[in-house]
């Protein structure tokens, strides 16, 4: 992009002030609908004529895009660290490769496969299994299939999941029958399989996973009217103050009065590398957006929920949205609620 990204909110506010000064709204505000006012504003302002905005909208689909070449380079850097037994550093490189790798490509499959190997070496068996499943969902390259099944069986064994270990070993046995592999290598795999069937170990992870965020309970029991509030709280109203909450007795430091999941929330850009873009949990292992390289998720579940609810719209415009402050949250509310729902409410109100 030849022009740098400016402040979109400033440009909008400037255009609004210019429209007001030109008298665009003077004859509309009293008796015209919101739609008519909006059309008048759009007809007067020249937002897309501002150079950097025009350049941005023309090129935003190219920003923060996936690259097989970049993913391959990062994965190779990870492989070098893996060979030096610097497994945690290798995991970091593999994660960057996963974030950069285009969806459902062989390069992405190899990056997940390599990260699973490093995770196995440091005892993160559940995370290793998750990455193995991602390789399968990408369309596992035939060269990786038997290695992944063997690693999966080893993880199941370490986790004490006997039935799943045996099932996986059966799949591996079937895979080896059709595999054109050196006799010695095949023999070694078969020997390891036999050893797994003879013993079932349970080992602890060598790294503690992040604890899930504990949601506190409200103090003094739940409220019979305000379901998210404490029984200590009452809803009141007056002509001068409108609706407001009061406490029936003194509130102590540390008391929890209201616990409610936000309808919509936005993660600040500074936390993109370290926290899940959807649930905001601190990342233990990162999973990518299907389209951009900016955001990360704690699981494929969060990645899917985020895409379905709002990120499919926001994805290419994130850098622009960073400049509008609280207005980004306003957009998120609209996307989570659904435009059809809000337009329906608008038409009923009319």
What is the C-alpha R_g of the chain? 27
Q: Per mean pLDDT, which of 38-42, 173-177, 309-313 is the most reliable?
A: 309-313
Relative to beta strand 242-247, strand 287-288 is: unpaired
pLDDT at 97: 96
Handedness of CA 161, 162, 163, 165 (dihedral sign): positive
What was the pLDDT predicted at 10?
75
Q: What is the pLDDT of residue 146?
A: 84
For residues 334-348, average pLDDT: 68
pLDDT at 279 over 90: yes
Pairing of β 296-297 and β 233-238? unpaired
> CA 124, CA 134: separation in Å to the nearest integer?
16
Task: Give me the phi and psi of 264, to 5 degrees please.
Answer: -150, 150
Query: What is the pTM assigned to this prediction?
Result: 0.74
Q: What is the pLDDT of residue 278?
A: 96
- pLDDT tens per residue, range 286-314: 999 999 999 999 999 999 999 999 999 99
The SS3 of residue 12 is helix
Strand 296-297, strand 287-288: pairing: antiparallel
Please enumerate in sequence order all residues whose Cβ is within 8 A of that of 127, keeping only pairs 6 or more positions apart, or say none: 119, 209, 284, 285
Band (pLDDT 50/70/90 cuts) for residue 324 is confident
- The per-residue pLDDT for range 211-220, each reduced to its tens digit, is 556 788 899 9
- Per-residue pLDDT reduced to its tens digit, 67-113: 999 999 999 999 999 999 999 999 999 999 999 999 989 999 999 99
Cβ of 274: how many Cβ atoms within 10 Å? 11
pLDDT of 32 > 60? The answer is no
**Least trusted range by pLDDT, from 58-72, 101-115, 170-184:** 170-184
HSE-CB at 334 with a 13 A cutoff on CA atoms is 10
Contact (Cβ atoms closer than 8 angstroms) between residue 150 and residue 172: yes
Please, what's the b/e burial string for 136-145 (b: 16 or more CB within 10 A of its CB; e: otherwise)? Answer: bebebeeebb
CA distance 235 to 246: 7
Q: In sequence order, which residues have a C-beta less than 8 Å from that of residue 323 and are 6 or more positions away?
A: 5, 6, 7, 8, 9, 10
Please state, in angstroms and rounded to a whole number, the distance separating the CA atoms of residues 99 and 94. Answer: 9
């Amino acid at each position: 992009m030849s022009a740098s990204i400016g402040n979109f909110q400033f440009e909008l506010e400037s255009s609004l002030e210019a429209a007001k000064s030109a008298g665009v709204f003077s004859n509309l505000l009293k008796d015209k609908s919101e739609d008519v006012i909006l059309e008048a504003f759009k007809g007067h302002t020249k937002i897309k004529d501002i150079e950097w905005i025009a350049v941005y909208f023309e090129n935003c689909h190219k920003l923060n895009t996936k690259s097989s070449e970049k993913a391959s380079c990062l994965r190779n850097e990870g492989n070098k660290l893996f060979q030096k037994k610097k497994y945690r550093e290798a995991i970091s490189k593999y994660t960057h490769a996963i974030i950069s790798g285009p969806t459902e490509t062989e390069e992405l499959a190899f990056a997940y496969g390599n990260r699973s190997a490093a995770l196995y070496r440091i005892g993160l068996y559940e995370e290793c299994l998750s990455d193995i499943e991602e390789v399968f969902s990408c369309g596992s390259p035939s060269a990786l299939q038997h290695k992944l099944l063997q690693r999966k069986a080893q993880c199941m064994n370490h986790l004490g999941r006997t039935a799943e270990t045996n099932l996986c070993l059966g799949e591996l046995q079937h895979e080896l029958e059709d595999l054109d592999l050196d006799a010695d290598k095949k023999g070694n795999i078969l020997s390891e399989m036999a050893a797994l069937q003879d013993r079932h170990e349970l080992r602890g992870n060598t790294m503690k996973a992040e604890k899930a965020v504990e949601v506190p309970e409200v103090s003094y029991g739940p409220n019979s009217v305000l379901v998210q509030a404490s029984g200590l709280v009452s809803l009141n109203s007056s002509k001068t103050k409108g609706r407001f909450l009061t406490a029936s007795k003194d509130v102590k430091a540390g008391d929890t009065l209201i616990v409610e999941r936000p309808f919509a929330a936005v993660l600040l850009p500074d936390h993109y590398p370290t926290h899940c873009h959807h649930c905001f949990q601190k990342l233990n292992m990162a999973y990518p957006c299907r389209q951009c390289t900016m955001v990360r998720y704690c699981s494929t579940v969060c990645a899917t929920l985020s895409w379905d609810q709002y990120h499919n719209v926001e994805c290419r415009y994130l850098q622009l949205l960073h400049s509008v402050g609280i207005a980004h949250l306003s957009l998120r509310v609209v996307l989570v609620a659904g435009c059809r729902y809000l337009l329906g409410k608008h038409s009923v109100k009319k």
